[in-house]
Amino acid sequence: MEYFDFYRGKTVLVTGHTGFKGSWLSVMLQMAGANVVGYALKPEADASLFKLSGVEDQMHSIEGDIRDLKHLKAVFDEFHPEIVFHLAAQPIVRESYNTPVYTYETNVMGTVNLLECVRTTSGVKSVLNVTTDKVYENKEWNWGYRETDVLDGYDPYSNSKSCSELVTHSYKKSFFDKQQIAVSTARAGNVIGGGDFARDRIIPDCVRAAMAGEEIIIRNPYSIRPFQHVLEPLNAYLMIAKLQAEDAERQGYYNVGPEESDCISVGELTDIFCDIWQNEISWKNVCDRGPHEASFLKLDCSLIKNKLGWKPHWNIRKAVEKTIEWTKVYEQNGDVRMCMEKQIKEFMTKE
């Protein structure tokens, strides 16, 4: 848990803290002894990891819309964060086809608002904008995208995240380099883990079907994605924010994904889930002819490995095992916060 000492006693702002990744990150920061401030929309009314984990009880949780610059600025002025993690977003590809304007407002202007608050608030030292592996112009080729490849996401979600990257690049060159504020972006692959209840995501769909004793429905079993446990990118985020705060040469634009051997198809991932879950569950391929989604996507993570020394800890089978471990605790009304802390300690102490 080598990065935790850096965060002890520091004020850290996390936008989107009520979401899946935001909840896990907030727990990690709480374990590190940080003064955590969260700014996000109210969590979903149904099962919410934010509520289940008790993370709200150990932080300053502020309900707000990232599109509201005035309110966000008031939060910056009150708490003066030293470290900022920007996770707030409309994160679902299919939803972006239904609500493109909202998606762009949230993902693009939300980023502008966040960076404007950083620009006009004293004391901020390190900022990380979390985007996605889908920012690249996807040519469906058989090798991983590098950080120097063209940014041009296809759908409104992916494209809005490409725009968020460009906004960040502009603020860095125009303002932050002069202000000595370190800023990076992290382009993470598809994450899985305990407590993800989102719709139109493969593992949450598997969990819902398995718990209900139903057959799992798969839309695109041949689509290949860089699946990884949620703790993989969160570990990278903590590393990036720490290292760039100490040395501005460490800032940059980083892919965060699994080893190439763990870039598998949706069908293969579902097979692993069924094997570990047991109880004779199965899946079937039902093409619903929905909107366009990329069928082949890999990341080349050489840059973050070579420049920062980051590397994945858990392979894809281990990631699914840990997801199901959390789910079983939840299914039995157990202590999910204790399960999360146990998994975090196990992950962070792995050689």
Strand partners, 14: 38, 85
Terminal C-alpha separation, the chain: 10
H/E/C letters for each residue in the chain? CCCHHHHCCCEEEEECCCCHHHHHHHHHHHHHCCEEEEEECCCCCCCCHHHHCCHHHHCEEEECCCCCHHHHHHHHHHHCCCEEEECCCCCCHHHHHHCHHHHHHHHHHHHHHHHHHHHCCCCCCEEEEECCHHHECCCCCCCCECCCCCECCCCHHHHHHHHHHHHHHHHHHHHHHHHCCEEEEEEECCEECCCCCCCCCHHHHHHHHHHHCCCEEECCCCCEECCEECHHHHHHHHHHHHHHHHCHHHCCEEEECCCHHHCEEHHHHHHHHHHHHCCCCCEEECCCCCCCCCCECCECCHHHHHHHCCCCCCCHHHHHHHHHHHHHHHHCCCCHHHHHHHHHHHHHCCC
Do the Cβ atoms of 127 and 84 come closer than 8 Å? yes
Instruction: Say what the pLDDT of residue 231 is.
Output: 98
Average pLDDT per 10 consecutive residues for the chain, totaling 351 residues: 88 97 98 98 82 95 98 98 97 92 98 98 98 92 89 95 98 98 95 91 92 90 91 97 98 95 91 91 77 72 96 96 97 96 92 53
Instruction: Say what the pLDDT of residue 157 is.
Output: 96
Instruction: Say what the pLDDT of residue 3 is.
Output: 80
Instruction: Say what the pLDDT of residue 294 is.
Output: 56
Structure tokens at 288: 């619903």
Where residue 176 falls (left for φ over 0; alpha for ψ -120 to 50; beta otherwise) is alpha
Instruction: Say what the pLDDT of residue 260 is.
Output: 87
Instruction: Say what the pLDDT of residue 87 is.
Output: 98
What does each C-alpha distance from 70 to 83, 123, 145, 170, 340 come to in angstroms?
20, 19, 37, 22, 35
Instruction: CATH number for 8-348: choose from 3.40.50.300, 3.40.50.720, 3.20.20.140, 3.20.20.70.
Output: 3.40.50.720
Domain map of the chain by residue range?
A: 8-348
What does each C-alpha distance from 217 to 44, 92, 296 come to in angstroms?
23, 18, 20
